Amino acid sequence: MAVLGIDIGGTGIKAAPVDTEKGILLAERYRVETPSPSTVAAVTPLIQEILHHFEWHGEVGCGYPGVIKRGTIFTAANVDSTWVGLDASTFFEQVTGCPTYMINDADAAGLAEMHFGAGVDQRGVVLVLTIGTGIGTALFVEGRLVPNLELGHLQIRGKDAEHRASNRVRVDRELTWKKWARRVNEYLMHVENLLWPDLIIIGGGVSKSFGKFAPHLVTRAPIVCAKTYNDAGIIGAAMTSAHPESTGVVRG
């Protein structure tokens, strides 16, 4: 089944039609910069542009970087606060005419990895981290998603973890991979002491550079790179539309 997956991020908005059975992109992905400020009013025409680009009239799955419950947005750490309180599922459907399923971006990436990537056949407790503009976290227990885990906001040295260890911080502070990895280690130690995962999967923007920082990571659980890399968010968002019942995500 083909579903258009859209991944709204703090830096870019990426999209592609996805074969949700195979977990692959059916066309080259289309990317636009996230506008600043990233208000609902500024992002909406870009969503329309994306649909127009793919000449899309079918179902849409959309990842968003914040807490989502039944299509409604509750937080906006790395995007404009105009998103908070919006029933985005109903809103996008009204604006585009396409049925739209909303999901947290990290949960989307996690779903893709558990179905098609490094999490396939992994039992027990699997933690998927997406490290990009923010830090997204998705938890799977025996393959089942625990939605909206917000461990990027865990306090480390009096700050949100994502304000110390995201990829944006690495770039802004011009940290070497080794120095940045020390911050990630401190964060992962906290997370491991709370959740005791059996496997940690790293996705998001940094996953394409996994080889540069992975040798510096020290964790109790094995740590691996997301196999679907940065496309996980697009693939997982599309899966939400095709399998709403299995993910616990319902529209409206």
Q: CA 225, CA 209: separation in Å to the nearest integer? A: 9
| Residue whose entry in the numeric block shows the structure tokens 């680009």 | 53
What does the per-residue mask of binding to ligand BGC show for 36-55, with x meaning CB under 6 A?
A: --------------------
Q: CA 192, CA 187: separation in Å to the nearest integer? A: 9
End-to-end CA, the chain: 22
Site for ligand BGC in 73-132 (CB under 6 A): 75, 77-78, 104-106, 130
Site for ligand BGC in 129-148 (CB under 6 A): 130, 134, 136
Taking the complex as a whole, how short is the minimal distance between the CB of residue 217 and ligand BGC, in angstroms? 19
Site for ligand BGC in 161-220 (CB under 6 A): 162
Measured from the CB atom, is 52 or 69 closer to ligand BGC? 69
Measured from the CB atom, is 54 or 210 closer to ligand BGC? 210
Measured from the CB atom, is 78 or 96 closer to ligand BGC? 78
Concatenated DSSP letters for 26-91? SS--EEEEPPSS--HHHHHHHHHHHHHHTT--S-EEEEESS-EETTEE---SSS-GGGTT-BHHHH
Query: What residue number has its CB nearest to ligand BGC?
Result: 134
Which residue in the set 7, 59, 150, 231 belongs to the binding site for ligand BGC (CB under 6 A)? Answer: 150
Q: How far is CA 166 from CA 56, 161, 219, in A?
A: 33, 8, 17
Instruction: List residues near ligand BGC by CB under 6 A.
Output: 65-67, 75, 77-78, 104-106, 130, 134, 136, 150, 152, 162
